[in-house]
Amino acid sequence: MSRVHLVGQNQLMLLKNGEAYFPRLCADIDAAQHSIYLETYIFFADETGRMVADALKRATARGVVVRMLLDGYGSAELPQSWLDDMHTAGIEVQWFRREISPFTLRRSRMRRLRRLHRKLVAIDSEVAFVGGINIIHDFDGRDSFKSPRLDYAVRVQGVLSGEIHAVMRRLWGVVSWVNFRRRSKEIRRFFLNRVKHAPAPGITLVLRDNLRHRHDIETAYLNAIAAAQHEIIIANAYFLPGRGFRLALIQAAQRGVRVMLLLQGRVEYRIQHYATHALYDQLLGAGIEIYEYQPSFLHAKVAVVDGQWATVGSSNIDPFSLMLAREANLAVQDDGFAGELRASLLAAIADDAIRVGDGHGVKRNWVDRAFASVSYRIVRLLIGLLGYSRPGM
């Protein structure tokens, strides 16, 4: 049973994997009275997708306004029959950049690679969910994987839920405007109803977009790393930080901070996977501990610093999340919440991960190192072609 942590005027509940997340989400959807906003990168047509869709349809049958914003790439495989069924039930569905072209690298077209990677839900401005869990079954479906993806989300109940609701409602309005679907009443709300919320003590919603918050998530990480005195634990699915981020971790290790990275051990996207390996020698040489998660895919995007500061969200530490996608993380300053996440990560490291480095795990030969170097250069080249490389990347 997940613990409830009181942080400021908010109750936080850490949810590990879909096994804990989806039953809690559907229970809150069934309790909704006025509105539900849902944003996700992947909405997959499987048993989990059906469970969530059915809960949303029950909500519309009670008169609840249900609005769902799906990423046009991540949810591209959602069948039209499912969309028709949702529309018939009264669920409003919009797409974030649905049409993309894989046949051109012209910079004018690269804006289409800016994805909606946030995983957010807001219910009645009273309850919200923030994390990295997509609407998809926990298990990958491969016979060799006996464990679910490792991932986390946070259930928020309190004043911050209103801020999350406002953020989601605003993006819904922006996408509606872009798609020329806004009625005059919605236009007035979009321009006139921009409510500013006072920051909640101990907890912050940190966004990444292409306007006012381009570097907020990366800055939150860097500030926490710079302030670390004893320990940094980062679990991240796609870890390819820029030079500045790597330097911050190395400097922390040099001043005596124990730095542990829990990274992907299974190959999901080959180029990204091996590009990360190109950074291993530098990080290991600085005394940073690297562990690779083995039972299944690691999908978490979380961190804990000194057992006091924690972040849970959708943002990977790679150029695509930090420079292109819309992301959302929670940053929490609370011993109880951070301690629960820390204990979960340490258990995963001890029970389900292999340490990388001299005397640990499997030594990499020259072929592995060469492939890692080529993969890293390919990613750097792609970022350069997109026109998004900057000092420190």
As a three-state string, the secondary structure of 21-52 is: HHHHHHHHHHHCCCEEEEEECCECCCHHHHHH
Longest alpha-carbon distance in the chain: 66
Is-catalytic flag, 301?
A: yes
Among candidate residues 138, 306, 334, 352, the one labeled active-site is: 306
- Using the structure block, give the residue that is written with the tokens 């109880």: 336
Is-catalytic flag, 360?
A: no
DSSP string, 263-315: EE-S-SSHHHHHHHHTTHHHHHHTT-EEEEE-SS-B--EEEEETTTEEEEES-
Of 205, 210, 49, 224, the closest CA to residue 120 belongs to: 205
Tokens for 357? 């480095």
Among candidate residues 5, 28, 71, 119, the one labeled active-site is: 119
Of 301, 369, 325, the closest CA to residue 154 belongs to: 301
Tokens for 50? 């059906």
Is-catalytic flag, 117?
A: yes
Is-catalytic flag, 185?
A: no
Among candidate residues 137, 165, 277, 301, the one labeled active-site is: 301
CA distance 121 to 28: 10
Q: Are 235 and 132 in contact (CB under 8 A)?
A: no
Among candidate residues 137, 277, 299, 334, the one labeled active-site is: 299
Q: Are 355 and 290 in contact (CB under 8 A)?
A: yes
What are the catalytic residues? 117, 119, 124, 299, 301, 306
